[in-house]
Amino acid sequence: MVKTAPAFWLRSGGKRIVGFQCAAHSDSRTGPNSGKTTAGGAGSRSVKPASACSRVCAEAEQAKQQIKTFALYFIIVIYETVLYIVKTFDVSLDLMRLELIFSIHRATHRIGLYIQRHAPDLTQAEAHILCHLYEFGDSAVSTLHRAFAHKRSTLTSVLDRLDARGLVTRESSPQDRRSFVIRLTSSGKKKAAKIHRQLESLEAQVLRANDRRAVEAFGQVIHNLEEKAEED
């Protein structure tokens, strides 16, 4: 029997395969003396040909190749499974798809284009402020700021343009001389009524196409989005 030193253990196909570091391959006295008895008195031993050892080593090498093949097959299966999940369920591995932001931005932009078609002399911000004044009457600048969340400088610029065109007036508030009250002029009321009718018609079409619960749910979503955006 060939003397061996165990190097590793492998398992393949339910059958235990043993890998060897063969004495016949590692013994420096092998070669021309293979198959011969080595002299040395009581410690002398017989070294058999390397063919027996080579057969065991070949089986071990075959087992290693089988394991490598199985590992590669396993990796391929995992990769194809992940691809199937991504394609089937439309999953992104890197990010969560935005479900609200792009849609709200696009809808807001399309409302602006709608206003341009029906009131080309007004910007979207100007039209919204005129409609707000038309619905709620005279309003303090702080009220308009809360209604539309404009930057102070932006709101001031919009009011300056409306004032310059004679559509609104600005008067000091009787309650607070540091604040101003915005009021529609006669021409401003006519302009506001016209654009309000256009936006009212647009909104009515959408409301008719959706039940009340859907509209209320949408309003709640928008409210929650505003609150979260304000917190951060």
pLDDT at residue 15, rounded to an integer: 45
pLDDT at residue 46, rounded to an integer: 53
Last residue of a domain, which of 60, 89, 118?
89
Domain that holds residue 9: 4-36+46-89
pLDDT at residue 8, rounded to an integer: 42
| Residues with pLDDT less than 70, the chain | 1-50, 52, 86, 89-95, 232
SS (H, E, C) 160-229: HHHHHCCCEEEEECCCCCCCEEEEECHHHHHHHHHHHHHHHHHHHHHHHCCCHHHHHHHHHHHHHHHHHH
pLDDT at residue 1, rounded to an integer: 45
Within-domain flag for 96: no
- Same structural domain, 16 and 120: no
- Phi, psi (5° rounding) for residue 45? -145, 165
- Same structural domain, 186 and 213: yes
- Same structural domain, 59 and 135: no
User: What single DSSP character describes residue 37?
Assistant: B
- Same structural domain, 73 and 176: no
Within-domain flag for 94: no
The closest alpha carbon to 159, from 105, 120, 226, 151, belongs to 151
Burial of 18 (0-12, 13-18, 19+ CB in 10 A): middle
- Same structural domain, 20 and 63: yes
pTM: 0.58
Within-domain flag for 64: yes
Number of domains in the chain: 2
Contacts of 140 (CB under 8 A, 6+ apart): 173, 179, 180, 181, 182
